[in-house]
Amino acid sequence: SQTIHQWPATLVQPVGSPLSLECTVEGTSNPNLYWYRQAAGRGLQLLFYSVGIGQISSEVPQNLSASRPQDRQFILSSKKLLLSDSGFYLCAWSRFSGGSTDTQYFGPGTRLTVL
Amino acid sequence: AQTVTQSQPEMSVQEAETVTLSCTYDTSESDYYLFWYKQPPSRQMILVIRQEAYKQQNATENRFSVNFQKAAKSFSLKISDSQLGDAAMYFCAYYGGATNKLIFGTGTLLAVQP
């Protein structure tokens, strides 16, 4: 069966510090990978998605970036965090289905607080 | 642009009773997918049910079923025999080929009273 991991689970960082959140998927190959952010009391906002190694699409201009160094690894980064980067970050995966969609399955999330 | 609307910010149901959560969406596409996700206090998003727009039959998953009205662009979730563990935020979501991304509603917070 497939599983998705995210770490760390919780992170408190000062403004201006760098960020690296990691997401890995097990039990599948060539998945589509996604990063979402959820602000308190709100729905999910898609930040980045990737259909393959080194292929990243950005949905929202911001000071965050994403990378996919390996097939089942997706990393969310920032060089300098802003207060507005606080939130709950969710990684998700779906099967690559060549143009149609498959269900997205979510990881446990990372709660980021920027002080 | 596609939008998803959940008009009920909060709902409450008695244990063992039935509750229906509403969702409407706006799209010009004919082929798309609709989902209900559950987010318990742990905040992990859990898939509840999925509906393909080309299927006329409403999807069901145990105590969870949907009422999919394509012409009305309505996609409600019915939870039967509600349990305490059903208490969570429920999100309706839309996926269509034009945007190639999952679009979420703002969620409905469901409380289950013992």
What's the pLDDT tens digit per position in A20-41? 999 999 999 899 999 999 987 6
Q: Which of A38-47, B32-41, B73-82 has the lowest mean pLDDT?
A: A38-47
d(CA A104, CA A48): 14
Say yes or no: A107 contacts chain B, CB-CB below 8 A.
yes
Say yes or no: A98 contacts chain B, CB-CB below 8 A.
no
Local confidence band at B11 (pLDDT 50, 70, 90 cut-offs):
very high
Closest CA to B93 of B75, B79, B70: B75
CB contact under 8 A, B95 and A101: yes
The answer on pLDDT for A99 being more than 60 is no
Say yes or no: A18 contacts chain B, CB-CB below 8 A.
no
> What single-letter DSSP state applies at residue B59?
P
Q: Which residues of B touch A108 (CB under 8 A)?
A: 42-44
The answer on pLDDT for B106 being more than 80 is yes
Instruction: Give the A:B interface size as CB pairs under 8 Å.
Output: 43
- Cβ-nearest to B91 among A43, A46, A109: A43
Q: Which of A71-75, B92-96, B97-101, B109-113 has the lowest mean pLDDT?
A: B97-101
- Locate the DSSP E strands across chain B: 3-5, 10-14, 19-21, 24-26, 32-39, 46-52, 60-61, 64-69, 74-79, 88-96, 101-104, 108-113
**E strand or H helix at A67, and its extent?**
strand A64-70
CB contact under 8 A, A111 and B43: yes
The answer on pLDDT for A72 being more than 60 is yes
- Cβ-nearest to B106 among A43, A49, A104: A43
Pinpoint the alpha helices (H) of A5-76.
none
CB contact under 8 A, A43 and B104: yes
Q: Which residues of B touch A35 (CB under 8 A)?
A: none
Strand, helix or coil at B85?
A: helix
More confident residue, A2 or B111: B111
d(CA B109, CA B93): 15
CB contact under 8 A, A101 and B43: no
d(CA B109, CA B24): 16
